[in-house]
Structure 1
Amino acid sequence: MTNLKVDGPVPVPLEGEGEADLAALRGDCARMAPHWAVPDRIVALPVSPSLIHGVSVPSKSARLLDAMGEYGG
């Protein structure tokens, strides 16, 4: 990732200026990066399926996710 150094305000691009929109977004991110704290470590533990309640997944999405398991692991 490129580290952008922004010293001044980024002009607001007019609608339809795709490159300017991306430049403004990258500038905004560069200015906000010092405000984001990074946790030391995140440990995700497996969750028992019996503890998962109230989740509904459309059947097309469930089939897609089910098929992804064959390729990813």
Structure 2
Amino acid sequence: MTNFKVHTPDPADLEGGLAALRGDCARMAPHWEAPERAAAAPVPPSLIHGVSVPPASARLLDAMSDYGD
């Protein structure tokens, strides 16, 4: 069995405020890369045929309020 050791420079501050959160995000930003965004090609109207919704899902959506509770 392999024992992986994890090194964290600072322990997580679960009670920190916004400044601590922003600092955590700033430290993590170099570890994440955003993928190249490809431009979405328009879909011709001839390929749009509508949407089918199962009856149970339609009842669920119909029972939901329009603006939340």
Same fold (TM over 0.5): no
More helix by share: 1
Using structure 1 for the length normalisation, give the TM-score.
0.41
Using structure 2 for the length normalisation, give the TM-score.
0.43
Which is greater in Rg? Answer: 2
Q: Which has the higher contact order (CA 8 A, sep 6+)?
A: 1
